[in-house]
Amino acid sequence: TILVLDFGSQTAQLIARRVRDQHVFCQLVRHDLSAKRIKELAPKGLILSGGPASVYADGSPQVDPEIFELGIPILGICYGMQAACKAMGCEIKPSTSREFGHTEILRKDGGDLFAGLPEKFTAWMSHGDRVENLHENFVVLAETVDCPNAAIKHRERELYGIQFHPEVTHTQHGENLIGNFIREICGCEGSWKISSFIEQECEVIRERVGNSRVICGLSGGVDSSVTAALLYKAIGSQLTCIFVDNGLLRNGEREQVEYEFGEHFKTDLHVVDARDRFLNGLAGVSDPQEKRKIIGKTFIDVFKDESKDIDDARFLAQGTLYPDVIESGANPDGPAATIKYHHNVGGLPKELGFELIEPMRMLFKDEVRLMGKELGLPDKLIWRHPFPGPGLAVRCLGAVNAERLATLREADAIFIDELYESNYYHKVQQAFAVLLPLQTVGVMGDARTYEDVIAIRSVDTDNFMTADWSRLPYDLLQRVSTRIINSVRGVNRVVYDVSSKPPSTIEWE
Ligand code: XMP
């Protein structure tokens, strides 16, 4: 294991990702985790992340100085380097010229950290402070035009510092540098694989569950599907899956769940037809937050009703992922939340009385996909775009009813189909149709029409916090528009959403 001490950098998670890419397990922990606790966790190496603060500012995050006495190799990145240097008696000062963006790194010395890297390469920098008056215990490994100490090493200890960010893709050879640290310097073997994780996790689940039953709520999305597939592998017939058909699903979604978890994996699948219950609750409601509330509450009620008759059910499996765990601050060793991401609504409350099983709480999204593939789920499901908990209700602007939902579902299916056909589905991160709450004039044949408008939305994004509208080809948009207007009854106009987030959001409600 490698531990990343998180000083609040936006790229701390990325460091962990990069380490895992090299098949070494890695966890994010709080920056001030005590040396004693680190010793107990017995990692093979420590990486100190970057961070937004200045090390000389009051109350800035510091490391436990004892960690430098543990004999564990340490790599400090940006703020992490400055924090390490400060602890080792160097001076940190504001730079005369701040370095942001691409910078040329000039190597001065070899050393294991730079093994195999060229003499010059471009790296991504983002710092206002730098290490001055380097202590004589350090040697300089690399410099830039503005920064004489761009990479350093302690003479006697396995302590390295780099001022640039090897974890971002803008830095050339960043993965080699991280690889050198974790393999050559820390001695990690790189044997962490998703298949061994699956075996381990299955053991843990079997042990914990014993003869009891586990309930897993399926949503049709990737996370809950992979969770269910993993539990099925671990405990087979002791798993009950519950899928609530709320009438707000995408085309074919229910059938796909029925096939995957009823036929392919023969789980004890309960499909609850709650369409009327949801639609009755939503009748006449057009405020988006109100819709969300009603849907969340109805979901819990339906789930409660369905689960109370399941004998021996003691556990509830959930597809919580590592980023949620990090941001919730739930792990006492983990970093405190720095940025809040969008949290899923429709989470099930404690009062249901189940013990939680969260087998993916250590995994990132792409690792979950790998796991899904390994467990035999189809690519179509594994790579499906995210879908909001309140479903089509927040894409059916204004009043929600069965007829309008059917119109929207049909238009959405055409758009998605065309994206697949043109190989654009996997190039964009989320795409969907929205039914607007207004009519416009059109002409069909000789007759005037006054019908609905469908908006189509497609976004390119890394993390759904910011997004840009996808530059889809005009002829693709043309085909989507023609097909929707020709075949979806009651629609006479299609528009394409060209707004980025911010200031717009991805969804329209
Ligand atoms: P926005 O619209 O806020 O969406 O830019 C960002 C991402 O979150 C999804 N989203 C939701 N997911 N419940 C969810 O589970 C919700 O109420 C909800 N609202 C938005 C959205 O689809 C996008 O991926």
Q: In this predicted structure, which of 54-58, 249-253, 377-381 has the lowest mean pLDDT?
A: 54-58
Distance 39 CA to ligand 1 centre (A): 40
Which residues form the catalytic set?
78, 165, 167
Distance 505 CA to ligand 1 centre (A): 9
**DSSP 3-state percent helix, strand, coil across the chain (nearest 5):** 35, 25, 40
Q: Which residues are annotated as a binding site?
A: 219-225
- Can you spell out the DSSP letters for 345-394? S-PPPGGG-PEEE-TTTT--HHHHHHHHHHTT--HHHHTPPP--TTGGGG
pLDDT, one tens digit per residue, over 126-174 is: 888 888 888 889 999 999 988 889 999 999 999 999 999 999 988 999 9
Task: Point out which residues pair with 197 in neighbouring strands.
Answer: none
Asked if pLDDT for residue 328 goes beyond 80, the answer is no
Read off φ and ψ for residue 3, nearest 5 degrees: -105, 135
Pocket test for ligand 1, best of 224, 295, 342, 464 (most atoms within 8 A of CB): 342
Q: Is 296 in the pocket of ligand 1 (CB under 6 A)?
A: no
For residue 266, what are the contacts with CB-CB under 8 A and spacing of at least 6?
Answer: none
Proportion of the chain above pLDDT 70, given as a percent: 97
ipTM above 0.90, yes or no: yes
275 vs 97: which has the higher pLDDT: 275
Q: Helix crossing, 222-235 with 194-209: angle to 10°? A: 60
Task: Give the model's confidence band at 342: pLDDT under 50 very low, under 70 low, under 90 confident, else very high.
Answer: very low
Cα–Cα distance for residue pair 322/190, rounded to 1 Å: 20
Q: Is 466 in the pocket of ligand 1 (CB under 6 A)?
A: no
Task: Give the model's confidence band at 460: pLDDT under 50 very low, under 70 low, under 90 confident, else very high.
Answer: very high
Asked if pLDDT for residue 341 goes beyond 70, the answer is no
Q: Is 390 in the pocket of ligand 1 (CB under 6 A)?
A: yes
Q: Are 459 and 431 in contact (CB under 8 A)?
A: yes
Cα–Cα distance for residue pair 4/334, rounded to 1 Å: 10
Pocket test for ligand 1, best of 464, 465, 499 (most atoms within 8 A of CB): 464
Q: Is 288 in the pocket of ligand 1 (CB under 6 A)?
A: no
Helix (H/G/I), strand (E/B), else coil: 130? strand
Which atom of ligand 1 is the closest one to the Cα of 467? 5
Distance 342 CA to ligand 1 centre (A): 7
Q: Are 346 and 218 in contact (CB under 8 A)?
A: no
Asked if pLDDT for residue 339 goes beyond 60, the answer is no
Task: Look at residue 210 in the predicted model and tell me its pLDDT.
Answer: 95
What is this structure's pTM? 0.82
What is the side-by-side strand order in the sheet with 138-143? 26-30, 2-6, 45-48, 74-77, 159-162, 151-154, 138-143, 91-107, 120-132
Task: Look at residue 242 in the predicted model and tell me its pLDDT.
Answer: 97
Rg for the chain, CA atoms, rounded: 26
Mean pLDDT of 358-385: 94
* CA distances to 2, 209, 322, 323, 374 from 196, in Å: 18, 20, 18, 21, 11
Q: Whose CA is nearest to atom 4 of ligand 1?
A: 506
pLDDT, one tens digit per residue, over 394-449 is: 999 999 999 999 999 999 999 999 999 999 999 999 999 999 999 999 998 889 99
Asked if pLDDT for residue 33 goes beyond 60, the answer is yes
Pocket test for ligand 1, best of 507, 508, 509 (most atoms within 8 A of CB): 507
pLDDT, one tens digit per residue, over 192-235 is: 899 989 999 999 999 999 999 999 999 999 999 999 999 999 99
Task: Look at residue 338 in the predicted model and tell me its pLDDT.
Answer: 43
Task: Point out which residues pair with 160 in neighbouring strands.
Answer: 75, 153
Whole-number average pLDDT of the chain: 92
Task: Give the model's confidence band at 347: pLDDT under 50 very low, under 70 low, under 90 confident, else very high.
Answer: low
Would strands 91-107 and 120-132 be described as parallel, antiparallel, or unpaired?
A: antiparallel
Neighbour tally for 97: CB within 10 Å: 9
Angle CA 80–84–87, to nearest 5: 140
Task: Give the model's confidence band at 107: pLDDT under 50 very low, under 70 low, under 90 confident, else very high.
Answer: very high
Task: Look at residue 336 in the predicted model and tell me its pLDDT.
Answer: 57
Would strands 313-317 and 268-273 be described as parallel, antiparallel, or unpaired?
A: unpaired
E strand or H helix at 469: strand 468-469
187 vs 339: which has the higher pLDDT: 187
